[in-house]
Amino acid sequence: MSNKSFWHNLQIALKAYGGILPYIQLIQTDSGQPMPWPTVDPTQIVGRYITEAQQLGFGGDSNGTDYQFGQGMLNAWTIVSGVILASVQLINDSAFDLDGFVNDRIGESIGRKVAAEIHSGTGSSAFLGIETALVARGHQSAPALGGVYLSGTSGNWAATAGGKAFTILGGTTATTKLGAGLIGFDDVLGMIATVDPAYRNTGRCIFVANDITLAMLRSITDAYGHPLWSPAVAPGQPDTLYGYPVVVDQNTSNVSTTASTAGGLLFGDFKTAMVARQVNGATMMRLTERYADYLQIGYLGYIRMDARSNDLRAAAYFSNNAT
């Protein structure tokens, strides 16, 4: 099988096993040297009124406030499939395309690794996963700033109004915890509110969960028995949760029963929240000489990639509250 065919099939495998990989920003490069990635938070830059006697400031706004740029670094970590051995006898006697079969298995193994790293990569000589990045950002004291959404009530802006308990449409109150390891009606709305409308209005926001969490989400209803979950009405269309598409990704962590532990559900515009870098020319090597004394041929595939957070205000991660 040609390397071009391998690359095409590997791309298919990455999409199939990569979960949210198709929903994050992906940059293709021809080489793998470290690539600086600029970041900026412009939310504090605002205009102001001005009169004839005033002088404009220099910078991003009329007060002369400068844009503050940060810098991330996109590397090119190598992910390999491991060597797959096939005997010369099997290759000669096989009635099917053995090269194609091995190519598919290599794509699966690399795809599964990439999918897992995009969620839980540590960022140390490895991808920085979205779950790892959002946990590091933590819970924000004000809405619409992204990060970790705390379930329950105490200390959670999404479940308070003027410091007083209030009743939500789901029938629970701000003083009622839905139970450890459970996601409720108010949690779904709270996660949506954790992401600013500027990101929600891009049309790219999605919920991401595994099958265990999805089974829980399908049972959530409002006070009138209306489910938040809406199955797709046409083939090829996604199911939705409160109007937002749901992506099934088995690499998403389960909802934790431990207080103040994130897991279970992600929401946001991941094309804004995350950026991935992929070096062109993923390769499959056919090792015809190395294992010749065993009458075997080795197959090895690899790809060079990295992932980093870009703007975590665009994403939210569910967590049980400590109270």
Q: How far apart are CA 208 and CA 196, in angstroms?
A: 18
Q: Considering the chain, what is the average pLDDT of its residues?
A: 81
Same structural domain for residues 12 and 124? Answer: yes
**Is a pLDDT exceeding 70 seen at residue 43?**
no
Number of domains within the chain:
2
Same structural domain for residues 236 and 123? Answer: no
Q: Any idea of the CA torsion for 11, 15, 21, 22, to the nearest 10 degrees?
A: 100
**Is a pLDDT exceeding 70 seen at residue 5?**
no
Share of the chain above pLDDT 90, in %: 39
Banded pLDDT at 322 (limits 50, 70, 90): low
Over residues 232-258, the pLDDT tens digits come to: 888 888 899 999 999 999 999 998 878
CB 264 within 8 A of CB 213: yes
Same structural domain for residues 20 and 119? Answer: yes
Over residues 254-303, the pLDDT tens digits come to: 988 787 788 989 999 999 999 999 998 678 888 989 999 999 999 998 99
Same structural domain for residues 92 and 142? Answer: no
Q: How far apart are CA 305 and CA 276, in angstroms?
A: 7
Same structural domain for residues 12 and 125? Answer: yes
CB 276 within 8 A of CB 37: no
Specify the residue for token string 């400590």. Answer: 322
Residue 51 forms part of a structural domain = no
- Residue 100 sits in a domain whose CATH number is 3.30.2400.10
**Is a pLDDT exceeding 80 seen at residue 71?**
no
Same structural domain for residues 264 and 304? Answer: no
Same structural domain for residues 98 and 28? Answer: yes
Residue 77 forms part of a structural domain = yes
Average pLDDT of the residues in 42-50 = 68
Same structural domain for residues 33 and 105? Answer: yes
Structural domain including 24 reads 3-43+69-129+273-309
Same structural domain for residues 176 and 263? Answer: yes
Same structural domain for residues 107 and 178? Answer: no
